Amino acid sequence: MNLAEKIKHLREVEGELRGFKRPMTQMEVVKAMQEELSESISQAYLSQLESAKRLHLTASSRALLARFFKVHPGYLVNDPPDYSTDLLTDMGHDSDRLDTWLTASAQEWRSEPVLQEFLQCLAETGEPRRYLELFRQLMDLPLEGLEAIVEAVTSHIDSTLAD
């Protein structure tokens, strides 16, 4: 992936994360950067980067974009011609792949402690697929009903432990 594609992708992701349900415009990125970081790059510069008219970032621009999009500055470079993000080795059994994915996802979501803890607990359980199947069934219940079930089970467990 080249730098232009990466910046376009980051605008898409950022737009979704901010609830726009669409990519952020270049101008929205520039304004948000100024509001949140008190510094910015110009929309024209961002446009040149995205259209690949400018192939490289200055160190200060790379650092600023990395802070804004919350990525490692090293991500904001062109990948070498033969670079691949695909796994080239067999990961083994499917449960190993799920455990690996859950653990990696937990680390990726460290800015959301509840989600991080959930994914990590799921990764550490012996049967994450069974839990996922049960969680899926629970999602069919109305939220209030699910809260009542959790409260009843928690109360029962607490009273059993107290005895």
CB-facing half-sphere around the CA of 84: CA atoms within 13 A: 5
Written as tens digits, the pLDDT of the chain (163 aa) is 788 888 999 999 999 898 998 999 999 999 999 999 999 999 999 999 999 898 888 889 999 999 999 998 888 887 667 666 555 555 454 556 788 888 888 888 888 889 889 988 998 888 899 999 988 888 888 989 888 988 998 888 888 887 7
Q: How many CB atoms lie within 10 A of CB 76?
A: 20
Radius of gyration over alpha carbons of the chain, in Å? 22
pTM exceeds 0.75 for this model: no
Query: Are 62 and 76 spatial neighbours (Cβ–Cβ below 8 Å)?
Result: yes
Query: Are 15 and 22 spatial neighbours (Cβ–Cβ below 8 Å)?
Result: yes
Give whole-number Cα distances, 58 to 73, 91, 157, in Å.
11, 38, 59
CA 115 to chain centre: 11
